[in-house]
Chain A
Amino acid sequence: MATYDFLFSALGLKQWCASGESSAPMSMADLLTKNRGGEAEPESLWDVPFPSMDALNEACGNFPQSRELTKGLEQGFLSIKDSLSIVLDPLTQPLSWLLDGTLYGMLNTPWWIVIPLLLLVVFAVTRTWKLVGFVAICLMLLAFIDYYEYAMQTLSIIFVCAFLCVLIGVPIGIAMSRSDMLQRLTIPVLDMLQTLPPFVYLIPLIFLFSVTESKLYGIAIILYAIVPVIRLTNLGIRLVDKDVIEAADAFGMTSRQKLYRVQIPLALPNIMAGVNQTIMMSLAMVVIASLVSAPGLGVLVLRGIRNLELGVGLVAGLGIVILAVVLDRVTKASLARINASQK
Chain B
Amino acid sequence: MARDIKISIRNLYKVFGADPLGAMAHVKTGMGKAELLEQHNHVLGLQNINVDIREGEITVIMGLSGSGKSTLIRHLNRLIEPTSGEIEMDGENVLAFNDTRLRKLRREHMSMVFQKFALLPHKTVLENAGMALAVRGYTINDFEAEANKWLTRVGLEGNGNQYPHQLSGGMQQRVGIARALASNSPIMLMDEAFSALDPLIRSDMQDLLLELQDELQKTVVFITHDLDEALKLADNLVILKDGHIVQQGEPQNILLNPNDPYIINFISDINRARVLRVRSVMVRTSEPPADSAGEISERDNLESVIALSGGDTELTYRVMKKGAQVGVLDMKELIKALVPTEAQTDGPPGQF
B-contacting residues of A (Cβ < 8 Å)?
Answer: 241, 243-244, 246-247, 249-254, 257, 261-262, 265-266, 341-343
Pair A343/B111 contact, Cβ less than 8 Å: no
**A179 and B79 alpha carbons, distance in the complex (Å):** 19
From known contacts A342-B121, A343-B121, infer whether A252 and B114 are also in contact, taking CB-CB under 8 Å. Answer: no
- Name 19 interchain pairs, CB-CB below 8 A, sorted by A: A241-B118, A244-B118, A246-B118, A247-B119, A249-B79, A250-B79, A250-B112, A251-B107, A252-B106, A252-B107, A253-B135, A257-B135, A261-B120, A265-B120, A266-B120, A266-B121, A266-B122, A341-B163, A342-B165
Q: How far is the CA of A246 from the CA of B136 in the complex (A)?
A: 17
Nearest neighbor of B136 in chain A, beta-carbon distance? A252
B111-147 contact mask (Cβ, 8 Å, vs A): 1 or 0 = 1101011111110000000011011100000000000
User: Chain B interface secondary structure, helix, strand, loop or mixed?
Assistant: mixed
* 8 extra interface residue pairs, beta carbon distance < 8 Å, beyond A251-B107, A261-B120, A265-B122: A243-B116, A244-B118, A247-B118, A249-B106, A250-B79, A254-B103, A341-B163, A342-B122
Residues of chain B within 8 A (CB-CB) of A251 are: 106-107, 111-112, 131-132, 135, 179, 183
Chain B residue numbers with a CB within 8 Å of A246 are 79, 114, 118
- 9 residue pairs, one from A and one from B, having the closest CB atoms: A252-B106, A252-B107, A247-B118, A343-B165, A250-B112, A342-B122, A243-B118, A252-B103, A265-B122
A253 to B137 CA separation, bound complex (whole angstroms): 10
Whether B112 pairs with A341 at a CB distance below 8 angstroms is no
Q: Does B77 have its Cβ within 8 Å of any Cβ on chain A?
A: yes
Q: Chain B interface (Cβ within 8 Å of chain A)?
A: 77, 79, 102-108, 110-112, 114, 116-122, 131-132, 134-136, 163, 165, 179, 183, 189
Chain B residues with Cβ under 8 A from A249's Cβ? 79, 106
Q: How far is the CA of A265 from the CA of B104 in the complex (A)?
A: 25
B30 to chain A, nearest CB (A): 34
List of B residues within 8 angstroms of A253 by Cβ: 135
Contacts of B104 in A (CB 8 A): 252
Residues of A within 8 A of B112 (CB): 247, 250-251
- CA–CA, A262 and B108, complex, Å: 20
A156 → chain B closest CB, angstroms: 33
Shortest distance in angstroms between A239's beta carbon and chain B's nearest beta carbon? 13
Closest-CB distance, A207 to chain B (whole angstroms): 48
Q: How far is the CA of A252 from the CA of B79 in the complex (A)?
A: 10
Give the number of A-B contacts (CB < 8 Å): 65
Q: How far is the CA of A203 from the CA of B74 in the complex (A)?
A: 56
Expressed in whole angstroms, the Cα–Cα distance for A251 and B133 within the complex equals: 9
Q: B184 to chain A: closest CB distance in Å? A: 12
B194 shortest CB reach to chain A, Å: 16
> CB-CB < 8 A to A265: which residues of B?
120, 122
Which of A247, A249, A250, A266 has the most CB atoms of chain B within a 10 A radius of its CB? A250
CB proximity of A91 to chain B, nearest CB, Å? 37
Bound-state Cα–Cα, A225 to B165, Å: 35
- A243 B114 Cβ-Cβ under 8 A: yes
Complex Cα–Cα for A343 and B166 (A) = 9
> How far does the Cβ of A47 sit from chain B's closest Cβ, in whole Å?
56
Q: Which of B111, B119, B120 has the most CB of A within 10 A?
A: B120
Docked pose: A266 CA to B103 CA in angstroms: 23
Known contacts A246-B114, A247-B114; is-contact A252 B135 (Cβ 8 Å):
yes
Q: Say yes or no: B107 contacts A244, CB within 8 Å.
A: no
Contacts of A244 in B (CB 8 A): 118-121
Contacts of B189 in A (CB 8 A): 250
**Chain B minimum-CB-distance residue to A338:** B122
Give the CA-CA distance A254 to B110 in the complex, in Å: 16
Contact B122 A341 (CB under 8 A): yes
Name the CB-closest residue of B to A253.
B135
- Residue on A nearest B127 in the bound complex, by CB: A261
Residues of chain A lying within 8 A (CB to CB) of residue B122: 265-266, 341-342
Q: Which residues of A contact B114 (CB under 8 A)?
A: 243, 246-247, 250
- Residues of chain A contacted by B111 (CB below 8 angstroms): 250-251
For B134, the chain A residues whose CB sits under 8 A away are 261
Most chain B CB atoms below 10 A, which of A247, A254, A257 = A247
Q: Give every chain A residue within 8 A of B106 (Cβ-Cβ).
A: 249-252
Residues of B within 8 A of A247 (CB): 112, 114, 118-119
Q: Which residues of B contact A343 (CB under 8 A)?
A: 121, 163, 165
- Distance of A266 Cα from B122 Cα, bound (Å): 7
Nearest to A244 among chain B residues (CB) is B118
- The interface centre, meaning the residue of B103, B112, B118 with most chain A CB atoms within 10 A of its CB, is B118
A244 vs B117: C-alpha distance when bound (angstroms) = 8
| B105, B108, B112 — most chain A CB neighbours (10 Å) | B112
A254 CB, min distance to chain B CBs, angstroms: 7
**In whole angstroms, what is the CA distance A149 to B119 when docked?**
50
CA separation between A330 and B343, bound complex, in Å?
71
Residues of B within 8 A of A250 (CB): 77, 79, 106, 110-112, 114, 189
Cα A257 to Cα B136 with chains together (Å): 10
Give Cα A246–Cα B163 distance, bound, in whole angstroms.
20
- CA of A312 to CA of B183 in the docked complex: distance in angstroms? 68
Shortest distance from the beta carbon of A260 to any chain B beta carbon, whole Å: 12
| Alpha-carbon separation in the docked complex, A261 to B134 (Å) | 10
Give B315 Cβ to nearest chain A Cβ, in Å. Answer: 52
Residues of A within 8 A of B110 (CB): 250
A254 and B179 CA atoms in complex are apart in Å by: 18
Distance, CA A262 to CA B104, complexed state (A):
19
A residues less than 8 Å from B108 (CB atoms): 252
Q: What separation, in Å, do the CA atoms of A247 and B132 have in the docked complex?
A: 10
Q: Give A255's nearest chain B residue, CB to CB.
A: B99
Q: Closest A-chain residue to B128, C-beta based?
A: A247
Q: Give chain B nearest CB distance to A17 CB in angstroms.
A: 53
Give the docked Cα–Cα distance between A243 and B111 (Å): 15
A254 to B104, CA, bound (A): 11
Task: Please report the C-alpha to C-alpha distance between residue A176 and residue B106 in the assembled complex, in whole angstroms.
Answer: 28
